[in-house]
Structure 1
Amino acid sequence: MAEGKEGEVKGEIEIPNLSDENAVEEVDVIVTVESSGKVVSQTMKEMVHREAPIVVRSKLSEYLRCLKEEYSNKGLILPKRQSPTESSPATPPTLGTRISTQRSPSPAATSNKKSGTVNVNTTQIKMTESFMTSIEELYNTLTTQQLVATFTNSSTKLEAKKGGLYSLLDGLISGQYMELVRRFYYSFIPYTSVLLLPFLYRKSHTR
């Protein structure tokens, strides 16, 4: 943008908190201005600081409305996550739904315990993930309660020591540390699962 012979004015507009959790009126509009003339820079900055938020929020509102209409017609927009104070009717748990850890044993499980036998269908799953970090950093990340709680965005309890207990995802997954082998189970699966986490260091990453 040029203004007479005062020099060229350039700048950027940044919106750091644009998300579905913030209303358009709540987004921050950060303006930075650069120019070869101090007077022009200050004049433009004052004008942009005054007018830009109004224009940007208006355009964002229009953009988000069109975006929601387009993707709603395609069935790609999921229901908005409820806040802790909101309540919803009880529905059967589905895949991805957080399930309460308190439950009564089923009649089949009770009868099996009485007869002394338990039939459980099991399977073996092998997965390999590569992390662009060292073994030490990856180990610290997986055994530091604050980091795990931040990454999972849920209540977490960790006793990272031999025999220590852990609880992840608000109690959905819990278990016990056994050296480098962790015994874990879902709250709705019998205590028969064992998770092995071997660390293998490569030149550029850890597996």
Structure 2
Amino acid sequence: MAKWGEGDPRWIVEERADATNVNNWHWTERDVSGWSCDCLRRLLLGVRIQGDEGACTITDLSRCDGEASINNRKGKLIYIYEWALTANWLGTSCSGVKFRGSLEVSNLSDENDLDELDISAALAKDTPPTPLLGLMKTRGVQEVRRALGDYITQLKSVTSSPGPAPKVTSSSSPSSFTLTETFQTTADELYRTFTTQMFVEAFTRSAAVVDGCRGGRFQMMDGSVSGTFTQLVSLHDHHADVMLTFAPRAEQTELTVTCDSLPVGTDDITREGWRRFYFIAIKQTFGY
């Protein structure tokens, strides 16, 4: 027991000129709700499963209601979180038919273990029955449960250091690249290849939505690629600005793809993606 006048310094914050919380003895709290929503969205959008029935992919997180905080008491970190989530998924049968549905998580909480989470999958309204729903209810739910476990792990590791909650976005400047390829066709025909739904579905070998007008939306490759046509001139959540320039060269066309505002460090993989999934696929499909 301390002598009179020699009390534990952790208890005498009020008597310090700087009011320092010595050794984190008193309760402190940091809100990490924004970081959590970004982390949950990133992890869930990475869920993709393949089975005999076809493939299913989570395309977006439409609801992320709740909160999360890190609390410090007597030097001990206490994690408090509670979330209700709704995600949408896209299924593609082996025959190429598309089905849409949703997935609900109602009790992601520090009070529940992973195996206690209520995760349910359903088809969208007016969608006909499909075996893909069974795939989502079994393997899909397992993958979602794994992704939610990754969130809890990251919450308890990445955010355990003192200071403000970590930022999901990078402070570095966005990247960009320019890529050029030559096609054995006219500029007008190559232009239509990128702006006509039938052509896009042909070279991507999957269903697509392409509204080829200024401000029109496009979605392809099972929802993994989507965006808006900001400008279209005949003879053009992370987002990038992509400009396609078609230059006629006798009986050939030189296509230059310029990508700006890419996420940092994605130049090489995006450039290779354009070569593999666009340039090579278009040549193999149409013989250009």
The TM-score, its normalising length taken from structure 2, stands at 0.31
Query: Which has the larger Rg?
Result: 1
